[in-house]
Amino acid sequence: MGKSVLIIYTGGTVGMIDAGNGVLLPFDIHNLLKWIPELGRFEFKIDSLAFESPLDSSNVGPKEWQQIGQMIADNYAQYTGFVVLHGSDTMSYTASALSFMFDGLSKPVIFTGSQLPIGALRTDAKENILTAIELAAMTDKEGKALIPEVGIYFENHLFRGNRTIKANSENFDAFLSPNCTALAEVGVHFKLNEAQLRKPSAAFSFKSGLSADVALLKVFPGFSAKVFQSVFDNQYLKGLVLETYGTGNIPQDKHLIAGLQQLSERGVHVMVVTQCVMGSVELGRYATSTDLKALDVCSGHDITSEAAVTKMMHVLANNNSSETIKSQLRTSLRGEMTV
């Protein structure tokens, strides 16, 4: 079977064209060739699917993650790789969620987008799309995919999706992967980081379940323990991602500690992540994290908040036993944290 790539268009700046009056409108994916005639020069099949109505990625959430995942799962056997065109604002969340929803991924799923619309003269969309397609089609001599990962390609770098953050709303170089080196650098040559790339371990499966009963809270000097408590008291809450200072530190506030203690007694899972862009949680290093350590919370190590919250949604929806949930939160499932 020859190579082939499926492009899934979900929306975002990447697919916008100027209607002629300065207003940006989503384009018809089937006109992709008109905007990128170079696509005709690929010597393999490129097909496309699209959301019925393209979305700004601010409006993309679990329902759309499931939709993208299903589109890929339904077409998994037919294509060498997949390219997802997506708005950059929440791309890190979608790529993280998809990385957890796919187990045993053995093909590339490359997310890309752009900062300037495809119709703009200086657009970055063309290069991003063309390179993402090349990455999605890369195989070894036996036809095995070289990048069995959910990645984000933007401006010369392919990153593991669940390690990324959108760090710049203006530069073409919009994404960072602060705690994990790039999977590939693309200049004149494609330089794959073989040591970093994952190897598929299980048979491919797609688990679409995602729990919405999750909260993400960031501690800050002067926060109100009462306001936090109102979130803790929510009857639906099953998982909390707590963004702490430095290596996992929180103020030594007895109300906060008592609230967290109640959560643990109620069986609500707490994952501790750091507000620092780089580095890892290390509970117990300072006196200000010993209470958390004693509460048996899960350390997110160097995970991003984007990956933490989507991992929590995935793990809670797909497991019943509290022990399994804890153990999965503490394990790196898809290379999302350095343990």
What positions carry a catalytic annotation? 13
Burial 304-316 (b: 16+ CB within 10 A, else e): bbbbbbbbbbbbb
By beta-carbon proximity to ligand ASP, the closer residue of 91 and 138 is 91
In whole angstroms, the minimum distance from the beta carbon of 56 to ligand ASP comes to 4
By beta-carbon proximity to ligand ASP, the closer residue of 11 and 300 is 11
In whole angstroms, the minimum distance from the beta carbon of 87 to ligand ASP comes to 2
In whole angstroms, the minimum distance from the beta carbon of 11 to ligand ASP comes to 6
Antiparallel, parallel or unpaired: β 157-160 and 150-154: antiparallel
By beta-carbon proximity to ligand ASP, the closer residue of 154 and 232 is 154
By beta-carbon proximity to ligand ASP, the closer residue of 59 and 78 is 59
Phi, psi of 8 (to 5 degrees): -115, 120
For 243, the token pair is: 């963004």
In whole angstroms, the minimum distance from the beta carbon of 61 to ligand ASP comes to 13
DSSP run (H or E) holding 325: helix 322-330
In whole angstroms, the minimum distance from the beta carbon of 17 to ligand ASP comes to 14
- The DSSP line for 193-247 is -TTTS----S--EE-------EEEEE--TT--HHHHHHHHT-TT--EEEEEEBTT
DSSP run (H or E) holding 270: strand 269-274
**Can you give the binding site for ligand ASP, defined by CB under 6 A?**
11-13, 56-58, 87-89, 113, 115
Q: How far apart are CA 105 and CA 198, in angstroms?
A: 9
By beta-carbon proximity to ligand ASP, the closer residue of 32 and 298 is 32
Contact predicate 317/209, CB 8 Å: yes
Question: Which residue minimizes CB distance to ligand ASP?
Answer: 87
The SS3 of residue 274 is strand
Eight-class DSSP state of 6: E
In whole angstroms, the minimum distance from the beta carbon of 15 to ligand ASP comes to 9
By beta-carbon proximity to ligand ASP, the closer residue of 102 and 111 is 111
At a CB cut-off of 8 Å and minimum separation 6, what does 177 contact? 157, 159, 160, 163, 164, 165
Start-to-end Cα distance in the chain: 39
